Amino acid sequence: MAHLQAVRTTLQPQQNAYTQLTTYFDPHGQIAWGYMHAEPRPCYTPTLLRELLSWGNGMVAMIDDPAQQDVKYFVLASKVPDTFSLGGDLSLFMQHIQARDREALYRYAISCIDCSYAVHSHLNRPSVTSIALVQGQALGGGFESALASNVLIAERGAKMGLPEILFNLFPGMGAMTFLGRRVGHHKAEKIILSGKLYLAEELYEMGVVDVLADPGEGEGAVYDYVRREEKSRNGIMALRSAREVSQPAPYDELVRITEIWVDAALRLEPKDLRMMERLVNRQTGKLESSDATRTSTAFSA
């Protein structure tokens, strides 16, 4: 931990106007860190999606500028305690579904795909590795975005799952593609249809999670992974390139699946939307309860 604290002092906050994303660059490790903190819930709001895409474009500009230090790794993480991401903006989903606004729903879904594909394709730069650091819950689209990464690091006790089947839908922004590449498509379908939350330990045994860290040690696990990759970087990069040839995840496949998701979403019935609303309320209630607990603890201290 002492080493990690020393490394943190070298992190340089990046100058930007982001409101739901805090970014840092560690020049020593050549690691770009992005910490999500969307409002009013930690989900993929349109604002956060725009900021994530802007952050990616900024990293590409750094990489392509010979006067700047290269980004070799970028890490998607969260500043929200106990939560990586609750996934898609369900309130926005309901608004577009009830308005029968297919175009707006499709545009939102494509923004999600664009973000996940940038993570999966490591910004279309062969020398970059994308890492997802899951601390706490990663649900629905939050789990999908973590699955898109080249390396998924999770702390023990973290919970991940795809609950969309509970409101008569399926996860349409990359789950079949990215989870299928990790565990096979038959197993991916079983996980999707279960609607269950899985512990990081279970997913590690399945081969979904790449690195398992102790609670509170996720950031240190990122640095440990980077050190290991640096020792065999040429071979690891070449193997990843070979895997992308043998198990491609093309952008147009993601788009076609997303189109199926949009049409299925527009077929949801009132009872399905009520279940979706209950999930939103439950998520909001948990966050408010968690905030109250932390405030009470802080005052009692």
What are the CA-CA distances from residue 297 to residues 291, 292, 293, 301 (Å)?
10, 8, 6, 6
- The H-or-E segment that residue 276 falls in is helix 270-300
**Is 144 considered catalytic here?**
yes
Q: Give the closest residue to 290 by CA, choosing from 78, 38, 41.
A: 41
CA distances in angstroms from 169 to 189, 192, 258, listed in the order given: 13, 10, 12
Q: Which of 51, 144, 155, 229 is catalytic?
A: 144
Q: Between β-strands 129-134 and 73-78, what pairing exists: parallel, antiparallel or unpaired?
A: parallel
CA distance 206 to 201: 9
Active site residue 288: no
Q: Distance between CA 167 and CA 116 in Å, rounded?
A: 23
> DSSP for 217-275?
-HHHHHHHHHHHHHHTHHHHHHHHHHHHHHS---HHHHHHHHHHHHHHHHT--HHHHHH
Contact 82, 159 (CB under 8 A): no
Which two three-digit tokens encode residue 59? 């990293």
Residue whose structure tokens are 């968690």: 290
Q: Is 127 helix (H, G, I), strand (E, B) or coil?
A: coil
Alpha-carbon distance of 31 to 41, in angstroms, equals 27
In whole angstroms, give the CA distance from residue 265 to residue 260. Answer: 9
DSSP state of 88: B
Q: Is 194 helix (H, G, I), strand (E, B) or coil?
A: helix
Active-site position among 51, 155, 164, 229 = 164
* Residues belonging to the active site: 144, 164
